[in-house]
């Protein structure tokens, strides 16, 4: 049996990432896959890249925030649909270390691999072949939104029984369509509750089991740290964490889902 972790949309949240990586180490998984958006939203892009840069047994794809920042650094067209975020991305681009920019640029958009008897695809967001060739300025990650079976049914090039792990949409998703399973563990670093979310996938032959994990982290300390720094869109970003926030006192929660189920 193989066990690997999947996480996505860290968005510069080093506090949530540290908690998740500590828990992942305790879970003794064989591998880690990250579905992009390491940077953007939070101001700690170099710190997040440093963590991933030094990890072993880890594979990572680029997300739309990663590519948008790189476009600014390279003098390439920036997506007009994200013009309200451009000042924030430029602030990150001006501070991102060159070695991490080069490293992010070397990452693929998709990883397709076989694990045990199953085919897996890891991507920031599912896209067809045509979209996968588009530059970030043409919003390739937003061609099939929102994430649902009707939109993803257009992905005819996927093999039957492929498991697609994705992010981009910050909510948790788990559903099946045309003999394919789609799984999003939810944003790890941009979530309005004090938990870092990620998933563990267990493969035993053709049987696949999905485990959702929520790991407590000191979100109040993270927000205090954000408050001490001046950066563009700071108030908007702080509101992302405060919206509909509820108090929680429970410890790490594990929720198992069978891949045989169409819905959560």
Digit-coded pLDDT (tens) for 166-218:
999 999 999 999 889 999 999 999 999 999 999 999 999 889 999 999 999 99
Query: Picking from 49-63, 163-177, 248-262, which range would have the lowest pLDDT averaged per residue?
Result: 248-262
Q: Between residues 107 and 264, which one has the greater pLDDT?
A: 107
**In whole angstroms, what separates CA 206 from the centre of its chain?**
25
Is the C-alpha dihedral spanning 47, 49, 55, 61 positive or negative? Answer: positive
Where does the pLDDT of residue 244 fall: very low under 50, low under 70, confident under 90, or very high at 90 and above?
Answer: low
Q: What is the DSSP string of 104-142?
A: HHHS-SEEEEEETTEEEEEESS---HHHHTS-GGG-GGG
Phi-psi region of 9 (alpha: psi -120 to 50; beta: other; left: phi over 0): left
Q: Between residues 160 and 264, which one has the greater pLDDT?
A: 160
pLDDT at residue 130 tops 80:
yes
Pair 7, 188: CB distance under 8 Å = yes
**In whole angstroms, what separates CA 33 from the centre of its chain?**
9
**In whole numbers, what is the pLDDT of the chain averaged over residues?**
91
> In the prediction, which pLDDT does 169 show?
97
Neighbours of 17 (CB within 10 A): 26
Which domains, ranges and CATH numbers included, belong to the chain?
Answer: 2-258 (3.60.21.10)
> In the prediction, which pLDDT does 159 show?
87
Rounded Cα–Cα distance for residues 201 and 242 (Å): 30
**pTM for the full predicted model:** 0.91
pLDDT at residue 51 tops 70:
yes
């Amino acid at each position: 049996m193989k066990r690997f972790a999947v996480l996505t949309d860290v968005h510069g949240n080093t506090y949530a990432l540290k908690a998740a990586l500590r828990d992942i180490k305790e879970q003794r998984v064989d591998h880690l896959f990250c579905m992009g958006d390491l940077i953007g939203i939070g101001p700690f892009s170099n710190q997040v890249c440093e963590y991933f840069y030094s990890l072993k047994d880890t594979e990572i794809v680029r997300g739309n925030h990663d590519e948008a920042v790189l476009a600014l650094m390279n003098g390439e067209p920036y997506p007009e649909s994200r013009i309200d975020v451009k000042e924030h991305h430029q602030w990150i681009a001006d501070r991102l270390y060159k070695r991490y920019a080069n490293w992010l640029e070397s990452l693929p958009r998709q990883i397709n691999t076989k694990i045990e008897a199953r085919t897996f695809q890891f991507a920031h967001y599912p896209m067809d072949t045509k979209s996968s060739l588009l530059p970030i300025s043409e919003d390739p990650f937003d061609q099939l939104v929102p994430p649902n079976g009707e939109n993803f049914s257009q992905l005819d090039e996927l093999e039957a029984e492929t498991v697609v792990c994705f992010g981009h949409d910050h909510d948790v998703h788990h559903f099946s369509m045309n003999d394919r399973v789609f799984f999003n563990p939810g944003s790890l670093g941009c979530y309005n509750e004090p938990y870092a979310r990620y998933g563990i996938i267990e493969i035993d032959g053709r049987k696949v089991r999905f485990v959702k994990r929520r790991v407590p982290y000191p979100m109040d300390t993270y927000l205090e740290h954000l408050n001490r720094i001046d950066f563009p869109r700071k108030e908007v970003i702080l509101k992302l964490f405060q919206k509909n926030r509820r108090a929680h006192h429970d410890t790490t929660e594990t929720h198992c889902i069978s891949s045989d189920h169409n819905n959560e």
